[in-house]
Amino acid sequence: MTDRTHDPSLRSWVESANDERTDFPIQNLPFGRFRRARSSRAWRIGVAIGDQVLDLRAVHELCPWDDAAQRLLQPLAEGDLNRFMAMGPVARRELRALLSEGLREGSNVQRLLEACLVPQSGIELTVPCRIGDYTDFYAGIHHATTVGKLFRPDNPLLPNYKWVPIAYHGRSSSIVVSGHRVRRPLGQTKGEAEMPQFGPSKRLDYELEVGALVGVGNTLGEPIPMAEAEAHLFGLVLLNDWSARDIQSWEYQPLGPFLSKSFGSTISPWVVTMEALEPFRRPFLRAEGDPQPLPYLDSPTNRERGSIDIRLEVLLQTQAMRERGEAPHLLTQGNFRDAYWTVAQMLAHHASNGCNLQPGDLFGSGTQSGPEPGQGGSLLELSHGGKVPVQLPGGETRVFLLDGDSVWIRGRCEASGARAIGFGECMGTVSPSP
C-alpha cells in the first residue's frame, strides 16, 4: 500500500522538512486550517511541511497545474476541508502525489511553491474541519481493566467488552484545538453527605486518546461493511478527552458520561492522513483465549494491517514549573497498537445499525494505556484512583489536575525502512472554574 511518496530517501527543498526531528517531513503532509497570527482573515487550508505551511489557496491561484489538479484543490482553496474529505481516498492519493512531487528536491515548480509558504511561527491554527458529531469509544483494554479493578477487583471487564466496541456520544461543539485553555467545569458531585453538592470539579483528569476523522459518509440506513471501512476514514489526530471524575462517578449510571465530558475536548491541529500512516500499519491480533471479532467486525485486511503503530506520550507542566523555567515532565508512554479495536472496526460498528456518518465526524479511541505499571493514560490510573500521589520535579505531587496545569500529548510513528512522522502537539491548560 506504500508508494513513491513514502520513500524514506525523499528530501524536500524546504530544508527544515529534512531534519530527522521534525514531525512533518515530506513523507507526512498533514492537513490543517490556519491564518496569519493576530489577523481576522478567513481560515485557509494548508499542509505542514517542516516548520512551514503550504497555503493551498495560494497554490490553487499560482501553480499552473492541469484541470484535474485544480479540481482537487478547489474545495481546499475555498477553505473547506470537509468537501475534500468527502471526495475519498483516490482524490487524496492523487493530491498527495502531486504535492510530494512539487515539494521534493529538484521540483520544477519550486519557485512557484516557495511563494505559497507561510512560517508556522507566524500563524494561528483552529479545528481542522467542521466536526458535526463526536463519538468516544472505549478501546483501551489496559485502561478499561485498570479502572475496572478500582470498582470490581474480581471482574474488571463487563461481559460485553470483548465482543462489542463500547462508546458514548460526546459533544462536538466543545472540541477545541491545541493551545486553547480548558475551564474547570462546575457540576454535581456526591460525597459521604446525604445530599449531593454543586461546585467546581475536584478530580479533573486528562485522557490520552487518538482521534479518527471520517472522510466519505454513508446514507442513513445503509451500513458500512468492514471490507469498505478503511475507504471511509480520512486521517488521525491526537485527542485529550478531559474528564471530571467526581462528576462522572455520580452522573454516569445508568446512561453514561454527560457533563463530566462535554465541557471540553482538545485535538491536535494537523490531520495525518491514512496514506501517510501506511508504513506503520501492523497486524491486528487478539490475545490467546480472547474471542475473535464477530464476522461483521472482521476482514482479511483488518487482520493483516488493522493496527497502527503510534508511540504516544503525556507530559505535565505545573504553573510552578513554568515559573521556574522547567520543561514539561514526562508522565507516561504508550502505543496505539495496544487498542483492543481498530479504527476500521469502530467505523464499521458505528454504521452497522444504519447510522449515517458524515465527513468530519470524529471518533475518540478511548484512553490508551500500556500493559506495564506506570503506563496509565490518565491520572486516575497513575494515582490508583487518587490514593497514591504522582511525584513531580521540585517536590510537587498530583493525584488530579490543578488550575494552571498544562498537559501535552505527543504522538510519533517510527519503523524500520520508513521516515518517522508525527502529529505535532495536543496541549491544553486548565483554567479556574467560573
Q: What residues act catalytically?
A: 143
CB 147 within 8 A of CB 374: no
CB atoms within 10 A of CB 264: 21
CB 136 within 8 A of CB 341: no
Mind giving me the DSSP string for 306-371? -EE--EEEEEEE-HHHHHTTPPPEEEEEEEGGG-SS-HHHHHHHHHTT-----TT-EEE------S
Beta-carbon-side half-sphere exposure of residue 265 (alpha carbons within 13 Å): 34
CA distance 54 to 47: 5
Q: Give the closest residue to 30 by CA, choosing from 427, 426, 425, 423.
A: 423
E strands present in 151-301: 167-169, 175-177, 181-183, 186-189, 197-200, 204-205, 208-214, 233-240, 243-244, 265-267, 272-273, 281-282
- Positive or negative CA dihedral for 311, 341, 92, 44? negative
In the block, which residue shows the cell 485527542?
239
Q: Give the closest residue to 218 by CA, choosing from 208, 233, 235.
A: 233
Task: Tell me the three cell numbers of residue 432.
Answer: 479556574
Distance of CA 13 to the CA centre of its chain: 29
